Chain A
Amino acid sequence: EEKYTTSISKGLTSARAAEILARDGPNALTPPKSTPEIIKFLKQMVGGFSILLWVGALLCWIAFGIQTAQGVASAFDNLYLGVVLALVVILTGIFAYYQEAKSTNIMASFSKMIPQQALVIRDGEKKEVPAEQLVVGDMVEIKGGDRIPADIRLIFAQGCKVDNSSLTGESEPQSRSCDFTHENPLETKNIAFYSTTCLEGTATGMVINTGDHTIIGRIASLASGVGNEKTPIAIEIEHFVHIVAGVAVSIGVLFFIIAVSMKYKVLDSIIFLIGIIVANVPEGLLATVTVSLSLTAKRMAKKNCLVKNLEAVETLGSTSIICSDKTGTLTQNRMTVAHLWFDDQIYSADTSEEQTTQSFDQSSQSWAALSKIVTLCNRAEFKPGQENVPIMKRVVVGDASETALLKFAEVILGDVMGIRKRNRKLAEIPFNSTNKFQLSIHETEDPNDKRFLLVMKGAPERILERCSTIMINGEEQPLDRERAEAFQTAYMELGGLGERVLGFCHLYLPEDEFPDTYPFDTDSMNFPTSNLCFVGLLSMIDPPRSTVPDAVSKCRSAGIKVIMVTGDHPITAKAIAKSVGIISANSETVEDIAKRLNIPVEQVNKQDARAAVINGMELKDMTTEQLDEILINHSEIVFARTSPQQKLIIVEGCQRQDAVVAVTGDGVNDSPALKKADIGIAMGIAGSDAAKNAADMILLDDNFASIVTGVEEGRLIFDNLKKTIAYTLTKNIAELCPFLIYIIASIPLPIGTITILFIDLGTDIIPSVALAYEKAESDIMNRRPRHKKKDRLVNEQLAVYSYLQIGILQSVGAFLAYFTVYAEQGWLPNTLLGLRVNWEDDYYNDIEDSYGQEWTRYQRTYLQWSGYTAFFVSITIQQVADLIIRKTRRNSIFQQGLLRNKVIWVGIFSQIAIALILCYGLGSVTALNFTPLRVQYWFVAMPYAILIWVYDEIRKLFIRQYPGSWWDKNMYY
């Protein structure tokens, strides 16, 4: 076609090719635009609480500036605090960035591709050029095993078959010829697509589209056009950050106003504000959440779920609908013999992945004959050198059906190649689409039998046409009407199962007509091809993975709807859906009901049908309302023959129902839907790069069952994050109260800002991560997925219980320690009230305590630090109790087991060890404001710690005893 200014025989000239290359660009997909690293980094710096802490740091520096101008001695404290706050933000930012980068790097290794070469005709010569340099109009040659370098219109093809599964989801090889058969480029036979593979045969074709203009390029750009949705956990964390920041800012501002109206200096009020912000913000929490998520991600990776995006860990847990691709995800993506029909009887074969034997009745003579045909009339061969590999895993040269037959025969008979050697092949007619049969002629292995054996297999109806007899129990019997009808029934039944059926027949050629030396000629067919003896049928299917039915039923009980979305035929899709339980055994589609009741489809009440099989063609004409109606009314849905766009529509439809949608898929055609889904799950082995790139998670073993483990882990981490957050929020009140009392009652400051940071980023970190190791309280796989908008991570109950109950309890305990330290040093509580201004006066060096002693400023400051330390230690001790009670939300701690989660104990010991080190090890470092504390002060808050535990046990007891009561509603978080 000269439209492309090319020549079929000579191809383009190099100059012309270079010209077009300059115009169209290289033949490669433009990679999705990635955010520059620096932007990603800066995003981490301003996300979450960072803004609040930046404000805090800024206020510190302002205070420092003003104070140095005024010559206040303690001005540098504010400078340090500002620097520390900034460091906290930067370090947590770097940490989050590092975590993100780490998970992105895992992906980078996947996208490495070997540069592809293409055989192209240019300037009348054949040349190898990198596929990237192909341009429209180039003539390329393809042979079996090649990846197709661009969208190509075939001009010459010989036995060419392509695997389009990554593009359309069809698992069967598609034959390609030069004939234009369909308007739709996806359906027509004369176009081969970029990135698909040519399985066998050879072809020459002209490049018609390159790079982003190819079909696959268009799908890829469809995928990148789909915006990245925020993950549910990101929304939850944002919601939580809003709550905490809201509390911090409103309390801060409120007390700023109170302080100013109490005639505090504005500068002092600003310093109070900083304290309130620092006390209110759980600085370490976001890092903790990241660590918890990555711990879960690691745990999931061990179970073959590789998580690309950390937050996706939880998304899987809240998933309420899984849209699963069929081929390769639910099925093994390989043809396997499923049923046999001989002796007028259907036998089922074992289709599991690890089959080593077949258990159907093999005593019949018919089977012996059938097995011989299966073995001999087959061109597929094992690649050599695989003797030690399990049969099912051996690599085979040949098409899918022949491979299935070869493996089937090898499993039952063993040493197929040896049998073939002993039954030497004399002639062969390969399968072609006009004959629809394959034939070969062999010597027999019995040296006394000089007859030749003609074996044939092919489309059942064509084979039957050529037969006049049928083998029953090893005897040839005439093929009468009755027999033919039995054949029809069996054929229909197997076909109805979505299986591909092949017929087998043979004929022993009479010795006298065909002597030893008879020259068989396949072109003239100088041998009989009719009046053969029909032996049996074999049907094949891409069988479901053996783990899938169980996984689907687990999803069911976990309240997750599994929808099959496939590009395959409705019949096959439905058959697979039934066998894996996506359509359960006793549910019917509208069509089934119509058939059963013998009424037209239109009269069936749609509500009666739980299942639905929807064809892509029907879907095309549907309005969004109709789609919604289907998604709501039917619990078991199969979408067949769907295009990539339609998959996208289905996902969107599910999301309209407020569902969290997981999409599994492996092909390029799945990638837009993978991207659109709340969580896209790609197959690690069979998955295409495009699918892996679009996905959030990769199943390394391609096993649908791994998703179930993932769901479980995701739900667990959601529960445990709740616990972590509740644990962390509690002590914020114990950190905040000192500031409020300090402002209102004017007592010496009970706890310093730096000390607070040591709790938030020191003692509390390991315990809060330890909660991520907590086991589930009840069977989390038996409850419904959480509702995206109703079941929040941080709900009102959690915040109120942590802030207003346990938090206040903690504060009271810590204040007891504070007052004890001061009282035992000579400052009784009543003396402390209203003391603040004098206490903090640098030049007031003879303040009298309750006993008449006089204190210098530094002596007071040192005492104040002892107070900080006591307050700190008390919070730590009570946080140990808090940690223990957070192990469960409903069950008693004793039901959960105190010792089951060892990491909790690591947390408790680390907490106490850090406190000991700070107190006694670093007590002499002035800048840290810690002092060595008398041993007994460690026990002052102990009664309150015990009270926290007892109170929480009572709370849980009432929750368990009176479900649904006022107490349950208000106290269960």
Chain B
Amino acid sequence: MSKEEKKPFSQTMAEWRQFVYNPRSGEFLGRTAKSWGLILLFYLVFYGFLAALFTFTMWVMLQTLSGEIPKYRDRISSPGLMISPKPVTALEFYFNKSDSKSYAEYVSTLKQFLKSYDDSKQSKNIACTAGKLFEQNEERAVKQACQFNRTKLGSCSGVEDDTFGYAKGTPCVLVKMNRIIGLKPEGEPHIQCSPKEEGKVQITYFPDGGMIDLMYFPYYGKKLHADYLQPLVAVQLAINSSSTKEDVTIECKIMGSPNLRNEDDRDKFLGRISFKVQMSE
């Protein structure tokens, strides 16, 4: 009968057991040991060949790439902005200025981040002419990096105040521009931050006016430009006492350069960044 009939459970089980191991034909999962051996051998060869082929084609593909600069850079034509320290979750700072534990994370991140800016690490770097692009056109030579002294960051340098102002209720946040190989900003790029609501917070920039000096550009890539230090702008926020315990949203943008975009509908970090600070006492 073509109509399906419910088989008793025991029979189904027996059929399964028969399928898993059939003592009569020595079949295991429907195949004999020899058959399994053959099929496994086949797939071993097949996949071995495939793996070799894949490795080979990948190798060929990688041979076409240069070690210094990526083939295409069109996906990052304009840099994004980012801050340090970066709070773990969203870009929201919560701390209590009288509780050092609440900002310890931020402080240590900053310290760590600025370590590479220590003067001792910059001995190889040279002092460049401010206000001018530092182009090094020689082929394949190791590129030199311009010095960026921590002292430029003033009270946010961590030199005098090793809590970066968090203990005093004037937290420092470093704003940096993403590295992009070959990017040559035009004009006089500088960072400008503003709180969403006027008057809640006073902002101090280091270096003055949040300037990003052109001498730090262009960037030649990790391999050629190993000592490169990206220029930083520190913003110190002095939150009015009336606004403590409130969220203060601050938006920073890169300004003054026609080829650095800061208003993209989809990319909220392209040439701009906004973060929240909430301080309690």
Q: Which residue of B lies closest to A951 (CB)?
A: B46
C-alpha gap A658/B3 in the complex (Å):
11
Which A residues lie within 8 Å of B266 (CB)? 858, 926
Contact A816 B57 (CB under 8 A): yes
C-alpha gap A517/B71 in the complex (Å):
122
Given A845-B80, A852-B219, A859 and B46 contact (CB-CB distance below 8 Å): no
The verdict on B24 contacting chain A, using a C-beta distance below 8 Å, is: no
Contact B75 A829 (CB under 8 A): no
Question: Which stretch of A444-452, A602-610, A817-825 is in the interface?
Answer: A817-825
Taking the closest CB of chain B, its distance from the CB of A403, in whole angstroms, is: 43
Taking the closest CB of chain B, its distance from the CB of A294, in whole angstroms, is: 24
C-alpha gap A862/B269 in the complex (Å):
14
The verdict on B2 contacting chain A, using a C-beta distance below 8 Å, is: yes
Contact A816 B58 (CB under 8 A): yes
Q: Which of B39, B76, B90, B273 is close to A853, meaning CB atoms less than 8 Å apart?
A: B76
Which A residues lie within 8 Å of B80 (CB)? 845-846, 854-856, 859
Taking the closest CB of chain B, its distance from the CB of A138, in whole angstroms, is: 43
Given A678-B2, A856-B269, A859-B76, A846 and B62 contact (CB-CB distance below 8 Å): no
Question: Which stretch of A305-313, A386-394, A566-574, A801-809 is in the interface?
Answer: A801-809
Report the interface size class on chain A: 35 or more
Q: Which of B58, B75, B273 is close to A845, meaning CB atoms less than 8 Å apart?
A: B273
Report the interface size class on chain B: 35 or more
The verdict on A894 contacting chain B, using a C-beta distance below 8 Å, is: no
Contact with A along B243-278 (1 / 0, CB 8 A): 000000000000000000000101111100100000
The verdict on B86 contacting chain A, using a C-beta distance below 8 Å, is: yes
Q: Which of A658, A853, A854, A857 is close to B70, meaning CB atoms less than 8 Å apart?
A: A853
The verdict on A866 contacting chain B, using a C-beta distance below 8 Å, is: yes
Contact B39 A970 (CB under 8 A): yes
Which A residues lie within 8 Å of B210 (CB)? none
C-alpha gap A499/B19 in the complex (Å):
59
Q: Which residue of A lies closest to B84 (CB)?
A: A846
Contact A852 B65 (CB under 8 A): no
Given A229-B2, A858-B269, A826 and B89 contact (CB-CB distance below 8 Å): no
C-alpha gap A859/B74 in the complex (Å):
10
Contact B89 A843 (CB under 8 A): yes
- Within B48-103, the residues touching A (CB, 8 Å) are 50, 53-54, 57-58, 61-62, 65, 68-73, 75-76, 79-82, 86-87, 89-91
Which B residues lie within 8 Å of A966 (CB)? 38
Which A residues lie within 8 Å of B264 (CB)? 858
Contact A819 B178 (CB under 8 A): no
Question: Which stretch of B130-138, B194-202, B221-229 is in the interface?
Answer: B221-229
C-alpha gap A812/B49 in the complex (Å):
12
Which A residues lie within 8 Å of B228 (CB)? 852
Q: Which residue of A lies closest to B74 (CB)?
A: A825
Q: Which residue of B lies closest to A231 (CB)?
A: B2
C-alpha gap A566/B46 in the complex (Å):
59
Which A residues lie within 8 Å of B176 (CB)? 846
- Within B177-216, the residues touching A (CB, 8 Å) are 178-181
The verdict on B1 contacting chain A, using a C-beta distance below 8 Å, is: yes
Which B residues lie within 8 Å of A855 (CB)? 75-76, 80, 178
The verdict on B16 contacting chain A, using a C-beta distance below 8 Å, is: no
The verdict on A185 contacting chain B, using a C-beta distance below 8 Å, is: no
The verdict on A849 contacting chain B, using a C-beta distance below 8 Å, is: yes
The verdict on A466 contacting chain B, using a C-beta distance below 8 Å, is: no
Which A residues lie within 8 Å of B178 (CB)? 845-846, 853-856
C-alpha gap A926/B265 in the complex (Å):
12
Taking the closest CB of chain B, its distance from the CB of A625, in whole angstroms, is: 15
C-alpha gap A829/B61 in the complex (Å):
11
- Within A855-881, the residues touching B (CB, 8 Å) are 855-859, 862-863, 866
Contact A823 B2 (CB under 8 A): no
* Most A C-beta atoms less than 10 A away, residue of B2, B82, B222: B2
Q: Which of B1, B54, B273 is close to A655, meaning CB atoms less than 8 Å apart?
A: B1
The verdict on A963 contacting chain B, using a C-beta distance below 8 Å, is: no
Which A residues lie within 8 Å of B62 (CB)? 823, 828-829
Which B residues lie within 8 Å of A844 (CB)? 86
Which A residues lie within 8 Å of B181 (CB)? 851-853
Contact A812 B82 (CB under 8 A): no
C-alpha gap A655/B2 in the complex (Å):
7
Which B residues lie within 8 Å of A829 (CB)? 58, 62
Given A678-B2, A846-B82, A863-B75, A825 and B70 contact (CB-CB distance below 8 Å): yes
C-alpha gap A804/B268 in the complex (Å):
43
* Most A C-beta atoms less than 10 A away, residue of B3, B89, B267: B267
C-alpha gap A853/B171 in the complex (Å):
28
Contact B70 A851 (CB under 8 A): yes
C-alpha gap A288/B71 in the complex (Å):
42
Contact B268 A858 (CB under 8 A): yes
Q: Which residue of B lies closest to A931 (CB)?
A: B75
Contact B47 A859 (CB under 8 A): no
Taking the closest CB of chain B, its distance from the CB of A673, in whole angstroms, is: 15
Which A residues lie within 8 Å of B42 (CB)? 970
Which A residues lie within 8 Å of B221 (CB)? 851-853
Taking the closest CB of chain B, its distance from the CB of A655, in whole angstroms, is: 6
The verdict on A227 contacting chain B, using a C-beta distance below 8 Å, is: yes
Which B residues lie within 8 Å of A826 (CB)? 70, 72-73
Which B residues lie within 8 Å of A783 (CB)? none
Q: Which of B38, B53, B270 is close to A858, meaning CB atoms less than 8 Å apart?
A: B270
Contact B3 A943 (CB under 8 A): no
Q: Which of A230, A655, A809, A851 is close to B68, meaning CB atoms less than 8 Å apart?
A: A851
C-alpha gap A808/B54 in the complex (Å):
11
Contact with B along A932-973 (1 / 0, CB 8 A): 001000001001000100000000000000000010001000
Q: Which residue of A lies closest to B220 (CB)?
A: A852
C-alpha gap A845/B79 in the complex (Å):
10
Given A812-B53, A845-B80, A851-B69, A857 and B179 contact (CB-CB distance below 8 Å): no
Which B residues lie within 8 Å of A808 (CB)? 47, 50
- Within A916-940, the residues touching B (CB, 8 Å) are 926, 934, 940
C-alpha gap A230/B4 in the complex (Å):
10
C-alpha gap A866/B76 in the complex (Å):
13
C-alpha gap A655/B179 in the complex (Å):
76
Q: Which residue of A lies closest to B267 (CB)?
A: A858
The verdict on A218 contacting chain B, using a C-beta distance below 8 Å, is: no
Contact A824 B71 (CB under 8 A): yes
Given A845-B269, A852-B222, A856-B178, A788 and B54 contact (CB-CB distance below 8 Å): no
Given A845-B80, A855-B178, A866-B75, A812 and B54 contact (CB-CB distance below 8 Å): yes
C-alpha gap A843/B264 in the complex (Å):
16
Which A residues lie within 8 Å of B68 (CB)? 851
Which A residues lie within 8 Å of B50 (CB)? 808-809, 812
The verdict on A656 contacting chain B, using a C-beta distance below 8 Å, is: yes
Contact A853 B267 (CB under 8 A): no
- Within A645-697, the residues touching B (CB, 8 Å) are 652, 655-656, 658, 678
C-alpha gap A809/B54 in the complex (Å):
10
Which A residues lie within 8 Å of B53 (CB)? 812, 947
- Within B151-178, the residues touching A (CB, 8 Å) are 176, 178
Taking the closest CB of chain B, its distance from the CB of A652, in whole angstroms, is: 8
Which A residues lie within 8 Å of B87 (CB)? 843
Taking the closest CB of chain B, its distance from the CB of A742, in whole angstroms, is: 17
Contact A819 B82 (CB under 8 A): no
Which B residues lie within 8 Å of A846 (CB)? 80, 82, 176, 178
C-alpha gap A815/B55 in the complex (Å):
11
Which A residues lie within 8 Å of B268 (CB)? 858
Known: A826-B73, A858-B264. 5 other contacts (CB 8 A): A812-B50, A843-B86, A845-B80, A852-B223, A854-B180
* A-B CB contact pairs (8 Å), 5 listed: A230-B2, A845-B178, A849-B70, A859-B267, A926-B266
A interface, CB within 8 angstroms of B: 227, 229-230, 652, 655-656, 658, 678, 788, 804-805, 808-809, 812, 815-816, 819-820, 823-826, 828-829, 843-846, 848-859, 862-863, 866, 926, 934, 940, 943, 947, 966, 970
Q: Which 6 A-B pairs have the closest CB atoms?
A: A852-B222, A856-B80, A826-B70, A854-B178, A858-B267, A846-B82
